[in-house]
Chains A and B, each alone.
Chain A
Amino acid sequence: MTGASKKVILICDDEPNIRESIRYVVEKLGFESVLAVDGIEAYDKACALRPDLIVLDVGMPGMTGFEVCEKLRGDTAFAKVKIIILTAFGQVADQEKAVAVGADSYMVKPFSPRSLKQLLCQMLLE
């Protein structure tokens, strides 16, 4: 993996420790990570940076992960951006909703960094 072709991954979660654990996994895989602490920042940074993949927590202040996802999918420019939704509620309704708003995949907290690693590789290196 060369610096020029480094994939950019936007990590959005209001919990600092969770952001840090995801950043560790992302950087361990050699991707570049960008952090956002709430929904609004997540949307703004997504628009500004056009990341290759976005990890979106649902329960964020300002704008929920679902809202951000839906809004991004509403813009054709983001049609090909991969989106993984993280939900701490773990209910079927949330998973269905993740698919409905256009997420490519979702993970339930507490998630395994190994699974995340696998998912990221699968989605970005195929």
Chain B
Amino acid sequence: MLQRLLPRRLDRQVMLLVSLLLGLVMPFFAIHEAAENSERVVESAVLQARALAENIAVTSVEHIVTQDFASTEQLLLRSARFPGVQQIQVADIDGRVIGDVFVDQDGEPVLRYKLQMIDVPGDAYSQLKQSSGVLAVWQPIVGANAVGWVHLNYSLAEAKEIAEQYLYDYMIDGLIMTVMLVGLILLVMRRPLRVLRDAATFAGQLKNKHGEKIPVDQRSVEIEQLGTALNETSENLFEQDAVIKQALKALNTQKSAMDEHSIISITDVDGYITYANQKFVDVTGFSREELLGKKHDIIKSGFHSDEFFAAMWTTISAGRVWHGEILNKSKHGDEVWVNTTIVPFMDESGVPYEYVAIRTDVTEQKKTEQELEKKARSLTQMTDHLEDLVKLRTSELELANTQLLHLNKVKSEFVSVVSHELRTPLTSIKSFAEILQDDLEELDVDSQKHFLSIINEESERLGRLINDLLDLQKMDSGKVDWNDESVDLVVLLNGSAALFTQAYADKGLQLDLEIAADELWVDVDVDRIKQLMANLLSNALKFTERGSVTVGLVARGDEVEVSVCDTGLGIPAQEIANVFESFHQVNSSETREIGGSGLGLAICKDIVEHYSGRIWVESELGKGSRFVFTLPFSAGNAGNVGGVA
């Protein structure tokens, strides 16, 4: 209440204070002074009255004694002219009035009728009685002894009036002094107060006007300090402003950049959302109003277990930062993967009061990851498959390579062997031709004939060799013309055997035919089968010294089986697998003696395989060999088969 009444400005407060102070002091002073002066006035009035009374008493003694009452009346009339005198009475000791004068309204003394009695004091002492502004003075008139009384009524009104005038004057003086003092004080205080006011105004405006300066009044240390301090503060504020502005700008830049990228929300300690940035709103599909005050349960996808979130809360409520990937669900049911960092903010006592969650939308990344995983899986499968394929191909290639290497080796061996085989007859031919040329005259006719027959024999061998080589080459390269026709094998085998009958007989060998059919038809080139039989029969003849050779023919299933069985040298077990290879002859001087190109069986093999047949040999060393080949029946032959088999 009082505060409201007080002025707010300091100068006015000072003025009020000084005014109040002086206003309180000056009246006291005036009253005090006035009171003292009025007392003095009254006292002097009393003294004046007494002096007057004494004077009258002294003068009137004689009058009483002489009974000169007229002089008394004259005395009284003169004395009544003294200011303040209202009434003067002179009485004898018994109270008979000798003279009585009063002052009328116009101030003129008037003699009253004197024969009356008044009460006089018992004791002859001067006495003062004051009542209602009138002082009554009783002064005994003393000669030789007391003879009468002077009674003077003296008005104190004038004295009082003078005293009042004093009070009034003092009051006026006090007021004037007060006003002058206040003025003086204000005059003196004006400058510092103005500086103070300016400083206050400046300080009040500091929040808006950083960096401005106030003029510093150097006439007062305190005010100078204040000004300097204010200016420094203003400058500091200005500098701080710049720093803060820059920091704010940087912060805003960062925030706006972050808002572009990150989904940001802030929750209170209980998990209620207190802030969500635009990205959060955009991604979740909820409006900000829908989000604020809610928990993040609103975007829960149900993908994560309760333990997952419990662990998260344990971490952040302990004041630790949490990182993780969370699958959320938008308002429209879209699944959103976010890479999340939750940072707890702690108060002074270390208790979190707020959690800031910053998220990056990694849905696409997740999708890509899943796609990649899928692709990686299928790639792995493909790779595995490819690896298998590569392994397969590699093994095939290795096999092919091995076969090629083998073929290459076979080829170079073949060339080497052919060279050797060609040189061998040529050596004999050249040797004997040169011998004949050099020593013709020395040689007898038998020797000449013998050498010439060797030359002839070796030439024929060379010719056969070349023919066989060409045959084999043709067959290997598929350049043979196969003139297939339906042939009765029974007839064909009989014919082949007949060609060798004489040769076998010459060597003392028997050539038998065991043919369990009347006719067996196959579709073949007659010349080739004849060649095949001739090779087998000549081989049997070459390698058989005694016993017999039997040609067999049987039908087995859908093919015919032809065999040439001898009782000859036989073939060592380790050689059996190789006998059908070119130039392969069982290594022994005996076979060399027997001769042959070493190509016969290879040619046989080619012919049989051309007809999808098989050829093999069963043999026991020293007991003989059995060469067998098969040929498929011709289609039209089916009817005869049953009877044969």
Contacts and interface: CB of A to CB of B under 8 A. Distances in A.
14 contacts: A15-B592, A18-B428, A25-B431, A37-B592, A38-B592, A41-B589, A62-B588, A89-B420, A90-B419, A109-B424, A109-B427, A110-B426, A110-B429, A110-B431
A38 B427 contact: no
B431 A21 contact: yes
Given A25-B435, A89-B419, 8 more contacts: A22-B431, A37-B593, A109-B427, A110-B427, A110-B430, A110-B431, A113-B438, A114-B438
Interface residues of A, number: 28
Nearest to B457: A17
A18 B420 CA distance: 13
Contact of A18 (B427, B438, B591): B427
B587 A112 contact: no
A61 interface: yes
B430 A59 contact: no
A14 B427 CA distance: 13
B457 to A, nearest CB: 8
B438 A88 contact: no
B617 interface: no
A109 B420 CA distance: 9
The 10 closest A-B pairs by CB, nearest first: A21-B431, A17-B428, A110-B427, A110-B430, A61-B587, A14-B592, A88-B423, A109-B427, A37-B589, A38-B589
B142 to A, nearest CB: 200
Given A18-B427, A88-B419, A61 B593 contact: no
A109 B589 contact: no
B14 interface: no
Interface size class of B (residues with CB under 8 A): 20 to 34
B587 A21 contact: no
B434 interface: yes
A64 B499 CA distance: 38
B589 to A, nearest CB: 4
Contact of B423 (A25, A41, A110): A110
A60 B592 CA distance: 9
Contact of B427 (A61, A62, A111): A111
Contacts of B434: 112-114
A28 interface: yes
B435 A18 contact: no
Considering residues B420, B427, B438, which has the most beta carbons from chain A within 10 angstroms of its beta carbon? Answer: B427
Interface string A17-46: 110111011001000000001100100000
Contacts of B592: 14-15, 37-38, 61
B595 to A, nearest CB: 9
B428 A21 contact: yes
B416 interface: yes
B420 A112 contact: no
Given A17-B454, A28-B439, A59 B426 contact: no
A111 B422 CA distance: 13
A112 B423 contact: no
A118 B165 CA distance: 192
Contacts of A62: 587-589
Interface in A94-123: 109-114
A74 interface: no
Interface string B418-449: 01100110111111101100110000000000
A15 B592 CA distance: 7
Given A61-B588, A62-B587, A90 B431 contact: no
Contacts of A114: 434, 438
Contact of A111 (B419, B431, B593): B431
A91 B419 CA distance: 10
Contact of B435 (A16, A59, A113): A113
A62 B428 CA distance: 22
Nearest to B432: A21
A18 B424 contact: yes
Given A61-B588, A62-B587, A109-B426, A18 B419 contact: no
B458 interface: yes
A38 B593 CA distance: 11
A106 to B, nearest CB: 14
A41 B423 CA distance: 23
A17 B589 CA distance: 13
A90 B423 contact: yes
Contacts of A113: 431, 434-435, 438
Contacts of B458: 17
B435 A14 contact: no
Nearest to A19: B428
Contacts of B588: 38, 61-62
Contacts of A14: 589, 592
A45 to B, nearest CB: 13
A92 to B, nearest CB: 13
A59 B420 CA distance: 9
Nearest to B428: A17
Interface string A41-71: 1000000000000000001111000000000
Nearest to B585: A61
A117 B351 CA distance: 121
A60 B593 CA distance: 12
Most chain A CB atoms below 10 A, which of B420, B430, B431, B587: B431
Interface string B107-149: 0000000000000000000000000000000000000000000
Contact of A61 (B426, B438, B589): B589
Contacts of B428: 15, 17-18, 21
Nearest to B443: A24
Nearest to B461: A17
A28 B454 CA distance: 19
Interface in B434-484: 434-435, 438-439, 454, 457-458
Contacts of B423: 88-90, 109-110
Contacts of B593: 16, 37
A59 B592 CA distance: 11
Nearest to B429: A110
A48 B496 CA distance: 49
Nearest to A39: B589
